[in-house]
């Protein structure tokens, strides 16, 4: 029973990682400069550096890329809400 559960978990994580890598390649080439204006003109070193993060966070980045969301949302926490300029 536990072995079956462990195998299912490993296969699920492997599928997630494979899908993440398949997403990361086009995203690192074309998508990153659309979502982050600071990434325009970045070199190969930066793009290789973010591959692991893109692989891990691919569902959120895919959502933002498909929706055309350019800037990250503004965090709403008690500190930010209590600030009065």
Please compute the mean of the pLDDT values over residues 50-61 and round it to a whole number: 96
For residue 54, the enclosing domain spans 2-82
Summarize pLDDT for 30-39 with one digit per residue, the tens: 999 888 888 8
Q: How far apart are CA 6 and CA 77, in angstroms?
A: 38
Phi-psi region of 20 (alpha: psi -120 to 50; beta: other; left: phi over 0): alpha
pTM for the predicted model, two decimal places: 0.77
Whether the CB-CB separation of 31 and 65 falls below 8 Å is answered with yes
Number of domains in the chain: 1
């Amino acid at each position: 029973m536990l072995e079956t559960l462990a195998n299912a978990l490993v296969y699920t994580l492997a599928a997630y990682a494979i899908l993440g890598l398949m997403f990361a390649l086009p995203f690192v080439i074309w998508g990153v400069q659309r979502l982050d204006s600071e990434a325009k003109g970045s070199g190969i070193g930066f793009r290789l550096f973010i591959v692991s993060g893109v692989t891990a966070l691919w569902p959120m980045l895919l959502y933002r890329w498909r929706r055309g969301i350019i800037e990250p949302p503004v965090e709403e926490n008690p500190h930010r809400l209590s600030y009065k300029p």
